[in-house]
Structure 1
Amino acid sequence: MIIMIAAASENNALGKNNELVWHLPNDFKRFKNLTSGHHIIMGRKTFESFPKPLPNRTHIVISHQENYNPEGCIVVNSMEKALEKCPSNEAIFIIGGGEIYNLGLPFSDKIELTRVHHTFEADAFFPEIDPRDWELVNSEFQSKDDKHLFDYSYQTYVRK
C-alpha cells in the first residue's frame, strides 16, 4: 500500500523556505509511529531539511541532480523508480514535499493528512484532494493547547 503522509493547512500550505510554518509535537510523534520501519520516499529538498536521516526508515530520495548520493539513502530520478525500490507487500510512505506529493498522488492508495485549521503563507502546497477520487474514512479533531498553537485534525482518506 502506498500512503501519502503530510501536514497541510486549510489552504493546503506545507511550508515556506523548506521549513514547516507550524510546530505540532503530537503530529511529529504520529509521523514517527506510522513511518518507522518502512520505506519513505521524499524529494531532495525535503531530505535536506532534516538535520540527519530519520532513524529506523529506509530513505528513498528523488533528485535530478547528477552525483547526488547522501550516505545511507537510495537516490532515484522518478517516482516510478522510487516505487520499484520498495517491497511490494509493505506500506510505503510518500513524505513530500509539494512536487513529490503531486507526483505520488496517482500511485497512492491512502492519505494520512494532518489538517492544520489555519491558513498560512507558503511556497509549497499539498495537492487538492478530489472528493470524486478520495473518501474521508476517519477524522480526529485535536484542540490547540500550550504545545500546539493551532487546532488540527488527523484525517484518513482512501481511494474510491
Structure 2
Amino acid sequence: MSINMIVAIDESYAIGYKGNLIYRLKKDLKRFRELTSKNDYGLKNYILSGRNTYESLPKELPDRKMVVLSSNKNYKVNKNIIVEHSLDKVINHYLSGEQEKDLWIIGGEEIYKQSLDYVDKVYLTFISSKAKKADAYFPFLDMIKKFRIVDFEADKEDGIDFAYITFERKKSICV
C-alpha cells in the first residue's frame, strides 16, 4: 500500500493556531474521514500524528489505528493507541512487510517536515483565504519541489473557496 499525507492549508501555508485547525470545513472533514478510514479490503488504516495533534482531536478516530509520536519517553495514552518515539522506527516498521493498509500522516508541523521524504502522495486542501492568526505551517515549498499535481477539484463552503489537490511524488529519471 502507500504512505500518504493529508493536510489543509491556507494561502500562507498555515495549518493551525494554538493546537487547533485554522479552518473546519464540513466537506473537508468528511473527505478526511473517507480517505483515512478503512481501505478497500475493509482493514483499518494507520494514522500517524504528533502528540499535540493527537491531543487536539475531539475524540479517537474510528476505523483507524492511531500511532502517536512523542519525544517524551513517559507519554502514555489509551491502550488502543500506539506511542512511538522515532519516526524512522514507525516508517521502517511500516515498510518492513507487505502492507494491506495505508499509512496516513496527519500532522502537525514537525511531523509533516520530518516525514515528507517518505510520502508517496499528498492530499492537500488549499483554502483561498488567510487566517488572522497562525503558528503552525506546512512545508509547502519543500513539497512542491518533490511532487506533481495529479488531481484538482474546486469547491466552496460557507462562502469560502477551496480546492482539493492531490500530489504524487515525482519519479526520478536516471540517464
Q: CA–CA distance in 2 between the matches of 1:132 and 1:52?
A: 35
Corresponding position: 1:21 with 2:22:
yes
Q: 1 CA distance for matches of 2:145 and 2:13?
A: 18
User: What is the CA distance between 1:149 and its match in structure 2?
Assistant: 4.2
Any idea what SS the aligned residue of 2:54 has? helix
Give matches, 1:11-160, under 5 Å: 11-37=12-38, 38-71=45-78, 72-86=80-94, 88-89=98-99, 90-120=101-131, 121-129=133-141, 130-144=143-157, 148-160=158-170
Moved beyond 6 Å, runs of 4+:
none
Structure 1: runs of 5 or more not aligned: none
**1 CA distance for matches of 2:145 and 2:33?**
30
Q: How many residues align?
A: 157
Q: How big is the shift at 1:85? A: 4.2
RMSD of aligned alpha carbons: 1.4
Greater share of helix: 2
How far did 1:88 drift?
4.3
Gaps of 5+ in 2: 39-44, 171-175
Contact 2:73 2:85 (8 Å CA) reproduced: no
Which of the two has higher C-alpha Rg?
A: 2
- Name the TM-score, length of structure 2 as normaliser: 0.84
TM-score w.r.t. length of structure 1: 0.92
Could you tell which deviates more after superposition, 85-94 or 49-58?
85-94
Amino acid at match of 2:4: I
